[in-house]
Amino acid sequence: MHKLSTAILMISIFMIPSMLSAQPKMEFQHSYFDFGYAPQNAELYHDFWLKSAGDKELVINNIKTGCSCTRAPLEKDVIAPGDSARLKIIFSTGRYKGRTFKRPIIETNEGSDRRQLTIIAQILTDQDSMFPLAVEPLMLEFMIDSDNSKRVKEMRITNVSDQDFELNLVESPENLLSIEFPESIPAGRTAVAVVRLTDKALSSEFKNSFTFELNDEDQTRYTVGIAGRLGTPTLKMNY
């Protein structure tokens, strides 16, 4: 009996540290996203990925966006160890102007510490410069119907600087759009980007955005708002 008690005690001693070390832990692929220049009255979209990096499941208890202009739908609120979940941040720019920050806060079962994400946008009015490019329009509105010709929009991208630039598409909703994007724009020249809706985009009204970046020193970004509506488009904004 004494030997059995001793064996149970030894097993418990080895198990206790293991049990105490089983903790949830959250890691971000990245915790900051810059939309760059963006239009008013648009919805800007970006996906953050939350990873459960501990050895206990991660539970997302709450997400505080700070205002009604920012929404944060979460793919799932319980994440198994080693798994990840998508957190979509949707920022409605409304009548905001200039450099704008939003910092959603994530509360989990990690402990008392709250974790923070950051998004930033330079929101333009129609008088503002978006140097070193001029992008027109910075908001694309599609009319959803059976006319295939209305699935296509063009954007004129003009390099108003004295430097040549390469362009890189950072993020886009592939299920809604296909984008023919110029790889580069010489100084003083204009290029055209062609944006087409997919068949899936015609199933219902939608709002979204896509972001592209220059290879300049500041890695300047531009985010274009998109919307699909039933009936006649009403937004006529040029930037």
For residue 18, pLDDT beyond 50: no
Give the helix/strand (H/E) hosting 13. Answer: helix 2-21
Q: Is the model more confident about 124 or about 15?
A: 124
Q: What is the pLDDT averaged over residues 146-158?
A: 84
The rounded mean pLDDT for the chain is 88
Residue 220 φ/ψ, nearest 5 degrees: -60, 135
Distance CA 41, CA 69 (A): 11
Between 149 and 230, the more confident residue is: 230
Of the pLDDT bands very low, low, confident and very high (cuts 50, 70, 90), residue 10 is: low
Residue 129: its pLDDT value, please?
93
* Side-chain-side CA neighbours of residue 61 (13 Å): 10
pLDDT at site 202:
85
Contact 195, 177 (CB under 8 A): yes
Q: 83 exposed, middle or buried (CB, 10 Å; 0-12, 13-18, 19+)? A: middle
What domains can you pick out in the chain, each with its CATH number?
Answer: 26-124 (2.60.40.10), 133-229 (2.60.40.10)
Distance (Å, rounded) from C-alpha 182 to C-alpha 212? 11
What is the token pair recorded at 76? Answer: 């799932």
Report the distance separating Cα 29 and Cα 155, nearest Å: 31
Amino acid 232: pLDDT: 56
CA atoms of 151 and 198, how far apart (whole Å): 8
pLDDT over 90 percentage in the chain: 75
- pLDDT tens for 164-203 read 999 999 999 989 999 999 999 999 999 999 999 998 888 8
- What confidence category does residue 111 fall into, taking pLDDT thresholds of 50, 70 and 90? confident
Predicted confidence at residue 21, as pLDDT, reads 64
Question: Model confidence over 47-72: pLDDT tens digits?
Answer: 999 999 999 999 999 999 999 999 99
Average pLDDT score over residue span 110-132:
90
The per-residue b/e assignment along 182-214, b for 16 or more CB within 10 angstroms, e otherwise, is: beebeeeeebebebebeeebbeeebbbbbbbbb
pLDDT in tens, 195-239: 999 988 888 899 999 999 999 999 999 999 999 987 655 544 445
* Chain center to CA of 121: 12
Q: Which residue has the higher pLDDT, 20 or 224?
A: 224
